[in-house]
Amino acid sequence: MSTTRVLHITDRLSSRGGADWHLLGVLEHQHKAPDYEVLLATARDDGTAPAPCPVELLPELDGPKPDDALTDIAKRFSPDLVHLHNLLEPRVMRWASRFPCVMTVQDHRAFCPGRGKLTLHDKRCTSPMDEQLCVRCFDSQELFQRRLVLTRDRLEALQHMSVVVLSQYMMRELVDVGLHPSKVHVVPPFVHRLPEATPSKHDCVLFAGRLVHAKGVFDAIEAHHRSGVELPLVFAGTGSLRNELEARGHHVTGWLSHEELVGWYARAAALIFAPRWQEPFGIAGIEAMHFGVPVVAWDSGGIEEWHPQSPPLARWGDIEGLAQSLRTAVEMRLDWADPYRPAELMTKLHGIYGQTLPASPRSRV
């Protein structure tokens, strides 16, 4: 049996974000597969995640000249294929495209120079990237020009790769800015490495994620207030708004490991998941539903693709709709048949590898 050698490259080894956790699942399953040899190159390891495969630290990835370090590791490992994850540095992307290359695009940085399809005035943007339109989302012309050039460089580099995204929403966005549909493949994430939850009294409403404006922190607070639900709203996470939330008297747990987060899923009567930006997928939502927790959300980005509509999705920006869904959610428990099976999704990813691999020499350094 032939072995495919895959060099994965990312900016950090971590378990702090959904993109980080998704990568850990891919690496863990692939490393166990007998027909794959896997190596992860990363700029830094924040110590929150045990490595599921061999790892090499390359701090040069964060520097101005990453090519030499990458070329050295490629000479030693001799990959058949390079898989980039959430590292949208054009110099690294151009280097990787010397090889058969797959890029997992987790967020908006390849097609939006601004704030994740959210305008300067907090309105949802539904238009493809356009210089005359996007400039309105910036106070600084200089900053806009830098971001526009960077975004275009990223998009140009993607033209030479197979692109993996987590949702049909992300596929549409990339096609709208010029990628051919045949180059973009939807492979949703899956729930992995979550221990079973100990049954608990449902004594809170949960918000799980980064505590930043784009994640809808204040919308969640207002919806909870309007709902009249007496269960307290608990924030599981950390971010720039943490101090303000604590000053207002909200319960903030800080960053939690997934093992600790499971305990809060067990306690939650509902999860509020209402990002203001256009959500690329929303891994916290399927994790909550894995434990029977109903998800109160509005129609943002790719959420509608996995949300069971029970309780109903609210229109984007409709806080009263969120409040109504929350009143419904706390009276129910979700019986959700998880359609995101790791074995099936890894088979799909490996099929994309097969389409990407040409009959070419292994060494391209």
List C-alpha distances in Å: 332 to 5, 259, 295: 47, 25, 11
Looking at domain 4-190+342-356, does it have CATH number 3.40.630.30?
no
* CATH class assigned to 204-329: alpha beta
Yes or no: say if 286 and 345 are a contact pair by the CB < 8 Å rule: no
Segment 174-187 shows an average pLDDT of 97
If pLDDT is split at 50, 70 and 90, which confidence band does 365 have? low
pLDDT score at 62: 86
- The whole-angstrom separation of Cα 99 and Cα 132 is 35
pTM > 0.75: yes
Q: What is the pLDDT of residue 200?
A: 80
DSSP 124: B
Q: Is the pLDDT of residue 363 over 70?
A: no
What tokens does 228 get?
A: 């009249």
Cα→Cα distances 154→86, 110, 132, 159, Å: 12, 6, 19, 9
Q: How far apart are CA 188 and CA 170, in angstroms?
A: 11
pLDDT above 90: residue 299: yes
106-128 pLDDT, tens digit each? 999 999 999 999 998 889 999 99
What mean pLDDT is predicted for residues 128-152? 95
The H or E element that residue 244 is part of is helix 242-247
Residues of the chain above pLDDT 70, percent: 98
- Please choose, from the candidates 12, 8, 47, 46, the residue with its C-alpha nearest in 3D space to the C-alpha of residue 27: 8
Q: Please tell me the predicted confidence (pLDDT) of residue 339.
A: 93
- Residue 54 pLDDT > 80, yes or no? yes
Tell me phi and psi for residue 81, to 5 degrees: -150, 145
Q: And the tokens for 41?
A: 């190159």
pLDDT of residue 263: 93
Please, which pLDDT band fits residue 2 given cuts at 50, 70 and 90? confident
**pLDDT number for residue 195:** 81
Domain boundaries defined on the chain: 4-190+342-356, 204-329
Residue 215 is predicted with a pLDDT of: 93
Task: Tell me, yes or no, if the two domains 4-190+342-356 and 204-329 fold the same way.
Answer: yes
Q: Is the pLDDT of residue 270 over 70?
A: yes
pLDDT band at 360 (very low <50, low <70, confident <90, very high): low
Predicted local distance difference test score (pLDDT) of residue 13: 95
Residue 163 phi, psi (nearest 5): -110, 130
Q: Given strand 55-57, what is the order of strands in its sheet? A: 55-57, 36-45, 4-13, 81-85, 101-104, 162-165, 184-186
pLDDT at position 362 is 52
Question: Please, which pLDDT band fits residue 25 given cuts at 50, 70 and 90?
Answer: very high
Residue 324 carries which side chain, given as an amino acid letter?
Answer: Q
Identify the band that residue 259 occupies on the pLDDT scale cut at 50, 70 and 90: confident
AA letter at 83 = H
pLDDT recorded at residue 193: 83
Q: Mean of the per-residue pLDDT values for the chain? A: 94
Q: Is the pLDDT of residue 361 over 60?
A: no
Please give the structure tokens belonging to residue 200: 């608990």
- Please determine, for residue 223, whether its predicted confidence score (pLDDT) is greater than 90: yes
